[in-house]
């Protein structure tokens, strides 16, 4: 156990060393002095500080602190206080927040106050009162500074050192790779301070827009706050559409700096114009955005355009219709309703519609997996795992990464054009089974970006990869290459694995062929989403067998 304490000290020292190497240029002289003091701690004070800075509380009652490997805690606390790493300035209200119920009751008895009620009531009675306890307290200082360094070490906005512990214990296994050269986290102190203001919960839309315009959100890896700010601004704009459509429209237009974002927000902009009785302007805006729209965004623009054009008695040029797969109708016994989703009873068990269909298929000797996008992101991760960990400048600058920092962006393929093309060509040449088997043997169980191991065994994954047409698999992988895992939204619910041809007991048509079949399952009242329609069209055009299974209950319980 003592060794675990020493490892906690080593973890803290490693975080300080690597984080200072990445961002030391933007630290103040005073912060550097504090870090030097922490780094030079040894023995019990080092163990105590390393352990307490990893805990959530920031204030501690000296006599109740438990830290294995530190026998004389009061003496270690005195060393930390002398070094400026702790102090005894603990307000009485914060003491109450940190105490257990028996200690709270003891303090209330000392003041002659009632001791009945829940914990929050006990704490409320002690609010504003002092000297109800004589025990010494202390608080650990510079937690915020250490939190800043931890985010630089892990390249994530919010992390903790438990990642190091669970990895060491073997609960989580991370891929092994050679660290690549990286850049400083922030170039100037002002960049750091501006970035940290963007983490505040009360950030105004104006400040968020200005930060996006100036690029104040930019930072390596998941420290980049661009997606977070845009999502927050879209949520704000949607809340303003009814009462302040002009303000909502300004936010949407300010966010639409890229063609895809502009196309995605076009129906929302049109809605604000309609709220101001300007349908002609709404239709003109949709027409302008339709030129650069693709995929699900184009379908949404077309739908809004047709509706407004009909109101104005104007024409609207239609797109060629998307291909729609054949439908199969199934009847399953209705089960009890759980929440908003109906359930179906198969083999005496109530299940969601997707799991019920899988169970029904199992009863006739066919395997099916309910995976949706997880299946395809897992196949992508395994087939491109070796491309993840190539020596590309700045892509793997720190430990505990499940993939390179540019994964899910067009830069991933652009910076690895030859190896990525070699993987895709190998799939078209019929090498997918060998590649998948080798990658699964080497990476299964590790934290690999996109891989969700619960989807299925290596054999199941190979059945899917070899059962689908190579051209179709490449089509799916190329979409993920450009847009990341979000590109998998809308892929079919089920993959019915190749097997013996059979007849479904309650289906029409009843016969199920022996080949791989991708299935989009729909219950009563459920319709295709735009992303699903786009994927069904892509898969059909690439030669994949796809069906829509419409499920209805046989009886209502």
**pLDDT tens, position by position, 101-116:** 999 999 999 999 999 9
Please give the pLDDT value at position 272.
96
**pLDDT tens, position by position, 219-260:** 988 899 999 999 999 999 999 999 999 999 999 999 988 888
Q: How far does the chain reach from its first CA to its final CA, in angstroms?
A: 57
Please identify, among 253, 288, 312, the residue that sits at the C-terminal boundary of a domain: 312
Please give the pLDDT value at position 3.
47
Q: Pick the closest to residue 138 from 69, 53, 70 (CA basis).
A: 53
User: Do the Cβ atoms of 161 and 54 come closer than 8 Å?
Assistant: yes
Using pLDDT thresholds of 50, 70 and 90, give the confidence band for residue 557: very low
Q: Is the pLDDT of residue 376 over 70?
A: yes
Are 269 and 339 in a shared domain?
Answer: no
Does 250 map to a domain? yes
Considering only residues 70 and 304, tell me which one the structure prediction assigns the higher pLDDT: 304
Measured between alpha carbons, how far is 223 from 150 in angstroms, rounded to an integer? 11
Please identify, among 261, 282, 312, the residue that sits at the C-terminal boundary of a domain: 312
Are 450 and 535 in a shared domain?
Answer: yes
Mean of all residue pLDDT scores within the chain: 92
Ramachandran assignment for 231, one of left (phi > 0), alpha (psi -120 to 50 degrees), beta (any other):
alpha
Measured between alpha carbons, how far is 184 from 219 in angstroms, rounded to an integer? 9
Q: Which residues of 324-355 are buried (b: 16+ CB within 10 A; e: fewer)?
A: ebeebebbbebbeeeeeebbbbbeeebbbbbb
Please identify, among 312, 341, 372, the residue that sits at the C-terminal boundary of a domain: 312
- The residue range of the domain holding 235 is 189-312
- Could you count the other beta carbons within 10 Å of the beta carbon of residue 103? 17
Does 321 map to a domain? no
Mean pLDDT of all residues in 49-72:
88
Does 157 map to a domain? yes
Please give the pLDDT value at position 116.
93
Are 333 and 274 in a shared domain?
Answer: no
- Could you count the other beta carbons within 10 Å of the beta carbon of residue 99? 21
**pLDDT tens, position by position, 159-190:** 778 888 888 877 788 899 999 887 789 999 99
Please give the pLDDT value at position 429.
95
Contacts of 329 (CB under 8 A, 6+ apart): 507, 508, 549, 550, 552
Does 93 map to a domain? no
Are 410 and 331 in a shared domain?
Answer: yes
Q: Pick the closest to residue 480 from 547, 380, 405 (CA basis).
A: 380
**pLDDT tens, position by position, 434-457:** 999 999 999 999 999 999 999 999
Using pLDDT thresholds of 50, 70 and 90, give the confidence band for residue 348: confident
Mean pLDDT of all residues in 385-408:
93
Are 469 and 331 in a shared domain?
Answer: yes
Are 331 and 450 in a shared domain?
Answer: yes
Are 197 and 253 in a shared domain?
Answer: yes
Measured between alpha carbons, how far is 269 from 536 in angstroms, rounded to an integer? 28
Are 161 and 265 in a shared domain?
Answer: no
Strand 326-334 to strand 494-496: parallel, antiparallel, or no bridges (unpaired)? unpaired
238: Cα within 13 Å, side-chain hemisphere? 9
Q: Is the pLDDT of residue 39 over 60?
A: yes
- Could you count the other beta carbons within 10 Å of the beta carbon of residue 318? 9
Does 117 map to a domain? no
Measured between alpha carbons, how far is 478 from 376 in angstroms, rounded to an integer? 11
Are 159 and 261 in a shared domain?
Answer: no
Q: How many domains does the chain have?
A: 3
Are 298 and 403 in a shared domain?
Answer: no
The DSSP secondary-structure symbol of 446 reads B
Does 120 map to a domain? no
Are 510 and 471 in a shared domain?
Answer: yes
Are 298 and 332 in a shared domain?
Answer: no
- Tell me which residue has tokens 């291909």: 323
pTM of the predicted model, to two decimals?
Answer: 0.87
Kindly tell me the number of DSSP H helices and DSSP E strands found in the chain: 25, 13
Does 128 map to a domain? no
Does 109 map to a domain? no
């Amino acid at each position: 156990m003592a060794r675990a304490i020493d490892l906690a000290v080593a973890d803290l020292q490693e975080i300080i060393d690597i984080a200072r190497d990445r961002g030391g240029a933007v630290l103040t002289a005073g912060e550097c002095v504090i870090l030097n003091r922490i780094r030079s701690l040894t023995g019990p004070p080092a163990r105590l500080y390393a352990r307490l800075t990893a805990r959530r509380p920031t204030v501690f009652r000296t006599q109740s602190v438990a830290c294995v490997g530190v026998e004389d805690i009061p003496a270690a606390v005195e060393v930390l206080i002398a070094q400026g790493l702790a102090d005894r300035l603990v307000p009485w209200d914060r003491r109450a927040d940190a105490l257990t119920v028996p200690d709270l009751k003891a303090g209330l008895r000392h003041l002659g106050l009632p001791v009945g009620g829940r914990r929050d009531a006990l704490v409320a009675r002690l609010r504003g009162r002092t000297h109800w306890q004589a025990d010494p307290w202390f608080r650990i200082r510079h937690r915020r500074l250490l939190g800043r360094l931890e985010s630089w070490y892990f390249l994530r906005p919010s992390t903790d050192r438990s990642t190091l512990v669970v990895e060491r214990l073997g609960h989580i296994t991370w891929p092994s790779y050679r660290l690549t050269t990286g850049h400083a986290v922030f170039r100037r102190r002002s960049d750091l301070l501006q970035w940290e203001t963007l983490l505040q919960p009360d950030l105004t839309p104006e400040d968020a827009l200005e930060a996006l315009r100036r690029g104040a959100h930019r930072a390596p890896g998941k420290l980049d706050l661009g997606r977070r700010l845009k999502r927050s601004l879209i949520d704000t704009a949607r809340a303003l559409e009814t009462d302040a459509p002009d303000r909502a429209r300004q936010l949407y237009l300010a966010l639409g700096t890229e063609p895809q974002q502009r196309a995605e927000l076009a129906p929302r902009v049109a809605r604000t114009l309609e709220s101001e009785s300007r349908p002609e302007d709404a239709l003109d805006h949709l027409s302008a955005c339709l030129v650069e729209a693709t995929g699900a965004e184009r379908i949404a623009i077309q739908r809004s355009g047709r509706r407004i054009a009909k109101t104005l008695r104007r024409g609207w040029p239609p797109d060629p219709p998307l291909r729609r797969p054949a439908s199969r109708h199934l009847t399953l016994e209705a089960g009890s309703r759980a929440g908003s989703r109906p359930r179906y009873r198969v083999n005496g068990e109530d299940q969601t519609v997707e799991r019920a269909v899988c169970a029904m298929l199992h009863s006739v000797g066919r395997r099916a997996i309910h995976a949706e996008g997880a299946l395809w992101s897992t196949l992508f991760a395994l087939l491109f795992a070796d491309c993840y960990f190539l020596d590309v400048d700045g892509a793997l600058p720190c430990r505990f990464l499940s993939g390179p920092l540019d994964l899910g962006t067009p830069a991933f393929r652009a910076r690895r054009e030859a190896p990525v093309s070699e993987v895709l060509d190998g799939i078209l040449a019929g090498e997918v089974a060998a590649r998948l088997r080798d990658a699964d043997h080497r990476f299964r169980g590790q934290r690999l970006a996109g891989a969700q191991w619960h989807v299925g065994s290596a054999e199941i994954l190979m059945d899917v990869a070899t059962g689908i047409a190579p051209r179709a698999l490449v089509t799916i992988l190329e979409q993920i290459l450009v847009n990341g895992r979000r590109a998998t939204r809308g892929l079919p619910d089920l993959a019915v694995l190749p097997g013996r041809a059979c007849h479904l007991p309650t289906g029409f048509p009843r016969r199920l062929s022996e080949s791989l079949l991708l299935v989009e399952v729909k219950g009563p009242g459920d319709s295709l989403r735009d992303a699903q329609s786009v994927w069904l069209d892509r898969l059909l055009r690439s030669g994949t067998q796809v069906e829509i299974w419409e499920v209805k209950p046989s009886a209502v319980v």
